[in-house]
Amino acid sequence: MKKITVPLQAQDVTDLKSGEEVLLSGILYTSRDQAHKRMHDAILRKERLPFDIHNAFIYYCGPAATPKGAVIGSCGPTTSRRMDVFTPVLLRAGLRGMIGKGDRSPEVVEAIKQNNAVYFLAYAGCGALLTRFVKESVPIAYKDLGPEAVFRLVVKDLPLIVGIDAAGNNIFKR
């Protein structure tokens, strides 16, 4: 398995291939439907986002309540297609990658290609297991959304699969 650390530079993203397994370390931001809508609308209004989106990675996840003594509650991926309406705008704004589950729309695949981005698949149904790879978790924006707030995560060796690479090769279309 290839070990990678975010943020990734353009060439690092280009080198990733659909179907490849990776262990990802670094900073991720969680975001789901409502936070995506807020960020999308802020970009269109030319407002500042709650984090620097340039070269950032978003994990489509709404962590469950954090048990006492833990870093994070269960943090499995949510269905990515629900974010597809917002994703091309975020990619044009500099988002480098996304992590979720399931296939993406043709519009998102095209935006991935146009913006040299990557879409990773996280192991679905393993939210409790995935907590062991999260070393820090801090809510940073839209706290009124509860578990759908944006969290800044520090992860170490998070196991992922390249679902759609920068050339648009899609594991779901093999």
Q: What is the pLDDT of residues 140-163, one digit of tens each?
A: 999 999 889 999 999 999 999 999
Percentage of residues in the chain having pLDDT higher than 70: 100
Task: Give residue 25's pLDDT band: very low, low, confident or very high (50, 70, 90).
Answer: very high
Residue 13 has a pLDDT of 96
- Whether 40 is catalytic: no
| Measured distance CA(154)–CA(18) in Å, rounded | 24
Instruction: State pTM to two decimals.
Output: 0.95
Instruction: Copy the structure tokens of residue 84.
Output: 């597809």
Answer yes or no: are the C-beta atoms of 27 and 52 closer than 8 Å: no
Distances (CA, A) of 54 to 49, 128, 166: 11, 29, 16
- For the chain, the average pLDDT equals 94
Q: Which residue among the candidates 16, 24, 36, 169 is catalytic per the annotation?
A: 36
Q: What is the CA radius of gyration of the chain?
A: 15
Phi, psi of 58 (to 5 degrees): -110, 130
Answer whether residue 108 shows pLDDT above 80: yes
Whether the bond into 88 is cis, omega within 30 of 0: no
Tell me how far apart the alpha carbons of residues 43 and 36 are, in angstroms, rounded to a whole number.
10
Nearest CA among 36, 78, 66, 80 for reference residue 134: 66
Q: Does 2-173 carry CATH code 3.20.130.10?
A: yes
- Cα 163 to chain centroid, rounded: 12
On whether the CB atoms of residues 157 and 129 are closer than 8 A, the answer is no
Give the residue ranges of DSSP H helices in the chain: 10-15, 33-44, 87-92, 106-114, 127-130
What does the pLDDT average to over 92-97? 97
Helix H or strand E encompassing 103: none
pLDDT per residue over 120-143, tens digit each?
999 987 888 788 999 999 999 999
